[in-house]
Amino acid sequence: MTIVASNSLTISNVNDGTITHYAYAYSADGTDRFTTNYPNLNLLKGTRTPNSVTGNNTSNQAGGIYFFDNNKNIQNQGLSVGDTLTCEFDWSVSNPTSGTFYLQLNNTNWKSISQRISITSGNKSGHSKFSFVVDAGFLAGVATGINRRADYLPTNSVLTISNVIFTKGSNANPWMPSSSEVTTADWPSYIGQYTDFNTTASTDPAKYAPWIIFKGNDGKDGIAGKDGVGLKNTVITYAISTSGTTAPTTGWTSSVPTLVKGQFLWTKTIWTYTDNSSETGYSVTYISKDGNNGKDGIAGKDGVGIKTTTITYVGSRSGTTAPTTGWSPSVPSVPAGQFLWTKTVWRYSDSTSETGYSVAKMGNTGATGPAGTPGSTGAPGKIVSNTEPISLFKGLTWKYSGTANLTASDGTVIHPNTEYYYNGTHWVINYLSANNFEANSITADLIDAKNLTITDGEFVSTIIEGSVKTQTEIKDDHLLIYKMDTSTNSINTIALKSDSGLGMTYQNSDRGEYTSAGVNFQGLFMQNNITKEFARLTPQGTKLSTDVPWTTLAATGGFSGGTIQFSIQNGVAYFSVSGVSVPSMTGGTWYQCAQLPTGSRAIPSVNRVTTAFANASVWGFLVSVSGGLYFQSKNNTSATGNLANALAAFPIG
């Protein structure tokens, strides 16, 4: 391998495994609510609005402010003895002179979750974070919320508590609402990453560029996976192993362990969702051994091959110290008198790498030369900037690189990441026209096409109107229509898939109601979890939640022997009496022979009467609204064995 450089050259041999660091943010540049911890949901609800109390110069001035989110009871938050709980909040006091306050859980043990905070005229606002470990006594209490307690706050001073977040674990977390309040907009929209050899992640958002937008937490396909639920937290742990194919079963730690050359660094990520289920992913990095000495007298990695070569550039005022940030695969514009740095990274087949630098100084502007002869008019240029070009001419192309709308000098509203050209009087969008167009990614406000063909791709349409979010998606052999209304906490979905059929669902979180219906190769179905009603049409027949198998009833009122049974099938109640012995009966009088179970769906809403087999012209059979089964003879009848027979069917209800 040969390296050619100008002015200076630095070669570094990297022999250790790399570590990938992740960060999350709410803006494309990573600066809005940047965090290296994926947010955990708040165990408290009602924290969106700051809470205030006016001092009255009394001791232990108290008042409840926020409630736990799961039935207002900490025992339902999935906590165990030994878990760490952390509370963070912002506070401020107007017109303070002196006083103290603290927050504590409102439970039978009055467990304090913070140290006492002193307030003076010079100390009137701040951010506090306190943690404690759950013990058995704490879980035995009944925690319903958080109280603020103040000691002698001056009269007319106002204590305000805001951005309260109460989470499991000890990591610092950005503020988030509870699981019952969270919306898609509350979750980070962008993820960034970079790789180095440090165990400590950088807090510089630029380090994680480019920031990539990723899917929100409300699920998208309604079939398999974690659809319709949000991400509750993310836990990352590390372990060393001699295997690069089988994940370790022990030794996982939250911090990167000491790296061992020739072995593998495993990274495990556990995503826990708001329904308390979880998924686990792994990545593995080889920790390279030291390379052999070169035998050819040329710098390189003998015995291995070059896997990739990456070249990037950056401008700098220094020609001796290589820059640490700003590297780009495109050659930047470097002012005269400054330096253009070139960095080449060679990655080898044994997962090690080498880095080389070269630097060149840009020449200063020389003296003005003699005037040249007039030339022809140049071709229209193209400018990429976050401000409007100063010199405008017809045909000038400008790509606006800003992040917010900009009003140009002609009144045109310029949109971010959009290209315009100047027609001589106004800026207009520079539309692309092509007979054949191929791209990996297209972002557009409107696509109007004829005979549109999408290969190995997906179609997603999202519409948000107030509290209602509607999404339509086509992917592979799957079609999904999804509607979520946060004002009613309800979700409707329709999903169609070639091998699993058509499914429709309705979910209401406030009522805990879930209704589903669909059709597949097993038939048709519908069910509701609250009413317990269901209906199925299968190749074996129809099944309803009202069905009751044949059930034998005990004979009463002097009737005996034979069998008395009933059943409900497909909404019809059937009654069968066979070979029953009857007592002595007076003509025209009804005699009860059996009683249906209390609450049975077979009990009619009005008396149902039909004939009996003993003698259809003389005998009658009755099912009453009280659930009794009766026989009647028009003539006086003496006790007779094996006489009464009947078969009747009535629609239920």
Q: What is the pLDDT of residue 353?
A: 81
Q: Which of 616, 612, 617 is nearest to 559 (CA)?
A: 612
| pLDDT greater than 80 at residue 566 | yes
Q: CA 92 to CA 158: how far, in whole Å? A: 8
**Adjacent-strand bridge partners of 119:** 99
For the chain, percent of residues with pLDDT exceeding 90: 22
Q: Which of 143-157, 269-283, 295-309, 596-610 bottoms out in mean pLDDT, i.e. has the lowest? A: 295-309
Contact 555, 561 (CB under 8 A): yes
If one counts every other C-beta atom within 10 angstroms of the C-beta of residue 230, the result is 19
pLDDT, average across residues 327-343: 82
Q: Which of 108, 101, 90, 111 is nearest to 47 (CA)?
A: 90
Burial of 536 (0-12, 13-18, 19+ CB in 10 A): middle
Structure-token pair, residue 154: 């001056």
Which one has a higher pLDDT value, 137 or 398? Answer: 398
pLDDT, average across residues 485-503: 86
Could you read off the pLDDT of 275-322 as tens digits, one per residue? 777 878 777 777 766 544 444 433 445 555 556 778 888 888 888 888
| pLDDT greater than 50 at residue 481 | yes
| Residues found in the chain | 653
pTM beyond 0.75: the answer is: no
Which secondary structure element, helix H or strand E, spans residue 474, and what is its range? strand 468-475
Distance set, CA 598 to CA 439, 569, 627 (Å): 69, 19, 8
Q: What is the pLDDT of residue 639?
A: 93
Q: Phi and psi (nearest 5°) for 75? A: -65, -20
Q: In 3-state terms, what secondary structure has residue 390?
A: coil
Residue 9: which pLDDT band, with cuts at 50, 70 and 90? very low
Residue 623: which pLDDT band, with cuts at 50, 70 and 90? very high
Q: What is the pLDDT of residue 231?
A: 55
- DSSP H helices, 249-343, are none
For the chain, percent of residues with pLDDT exceeding 70: 78
Q: Which of 93-102, 173-182, 572-581 bottoms out in mean pLDDT, i.e. has the lowest? A: 93-102
| pLDDT greater than 80 at residue 456 | no
**Adjacent-strand bridge partners of 158:** 54, 94
Q: CA 615 to CA 633: how far, in whole Å? A: 9
Q: What is the pLDDT of residue 586?
A: 95
Q: CA 102 to CA 151: how far, in whole Å? A: 9
Rounded to a whole number of angstroms, the CA Rg of the chain reads: 38
pLDDT, average across residues 113-132: 76
pLDDT, average across residues 157-166: 84
Mean pLDDT of the chain: 79
Which residue has tokens 């700003």?
Answer: 326
Which one has a higher pLDDT value, 86 or 595? Answer: 595
Which one has a higher pLDDT value, 452 or 35? Answer: 35
Contact 620, 612 (CB under 8 A): yes
Q: What is the pLDDT of residue 634?
A: 92
| pLDDT greater than 70 at residue 560 | yes
| pLDDT greater than 70 at residue 18 | no
Q: CA 170 to CA 86: how far, in whole Å? A: 6
- DSSP H helices, 111-169, are 136-140
Which one has a higher pLDDT value, 23 or 444? Answer: 23
pLDDT, average across residues 270-275: 72
Which one has a higher pLDDT value, 640 or 159? Answer: 640
Triad 103, 108, 110: Cα angle to 5° = 25
Q: CA 537 to CA 495: how far, in whole Å? A: 20
| pLDDT greater than 80 at residue 155 | no
User: For residues 85-95, b (16+ Cβ closer than 10 Å) or e, as one string?
Assistant: bbbbbebbbee
Residue 184: which pLDDT band, with cuts at 50, 70 and 90? confident
Distance set, CA 281 to CA 184, 264, 473, 482, 628 (Å): 23, 16, 26, 27, 63
Structure-token pair, residue 645: 């027979």
Highest mean pLDDT among 289-293, 387-391, 598-602: 598-602
